[in-house]
Amino acid sequence: MRVFGVDPGLTRCGFGVVDGGPGRAVRCVAVDVVRTPVDADLAVRLLALSVEVDLWLDRHQPDVVAIERVFSQHNVRTAMGTAQASGVVALAAAKRRLPVVFHTPSEVKAAVTGSGRADKKQITAMITKILKLDAAPKPADAADALALAICHHWRAPMRTRMEEAERRAREMAETHRARIAAAAKRGGGR
């Protein structure tokens, strides 16, 4: 499975593509940070980001897109820009019928470091080690994008099993309700 991980942002948006193999084997395919000029109009910045996302999706043909979920931030303007960048990426993926999965920052940190409270330095160190990179990806947005892709690789099997268990539980509940209704109908007709 090939995952396109995105650490969304308007000023700096981290992109990372990771291939996964059996078990926890992962390999870095590509990583970069897309920047948009802070003095440009919002629409121009979103368009520039959209063009880059399209290029990456076309070039790397991922199976799924993993985006960091926008969490509460103290700076409303930063949160808005992050949300807008996430929307651009999700829309581009949806146009290609690619699944989009959102992971929280603490989920990503826990997946790659073992701690949901890891700092940027710890994440970068672990990404460098896990992917056997010669140098740490810089800036931190690049490492975060790779961390998102790795997180999805490692958590997707568990999510799939959980979704399947929930689906089976719903089916069993529906069958049970139908049996109860049928029994009540038979019993009420006497």
Task: State which residues form the domain around 140.
Answer: 2-188
Q: pLDDT tens digit string along 56-72?
A: 999 999 999 999 998 76
Number of folded domains that form the chain: 1
Whether residue 68 contacts residue 108, with contact meaning beta carbons closer than 8 Å, is answered with: yes
Whether residue 17 contacts residue 30, with contact meaning beta carbons closer than 8 Å, is answered with: yes
* Of 17-26, 49-58, 122-131, 139-148, the least confident: 17-26
Beta strands 26-35 and 12-20, pairing class: antiparallel
Q: pLDDT tens digit string along 42-52?
A: 999 999 999 99
Three-state secondary-structure class, residue 122:
helix
**CA dihedral sign of residues 85, 89, 95, 98:** negative
Quote the pTM value: 0.84
Active site residues: 7, 68, 141
Provide the 10 A C-beta neighbour count for residue 125: 16
CATH number of the domain encompassing residue 77: 3.30.420.10
How many angstroms from the chain centroid is the CA of residue 25?
A: 18
Indicate the Cα dihedral angle 177, 179, 181, 185, nearest 10°.
Answer: 180
Give the integer Cα–Cα distance in Å for 161 and 155: 10
Closest to 8 in 3D by CA, of 50, 59, 38: 50
Q: What pLDDT is recorded for position 24?
A: 87
Task: Evaluate if residue 177 carries a pLDDT over 80.
Answer: yes
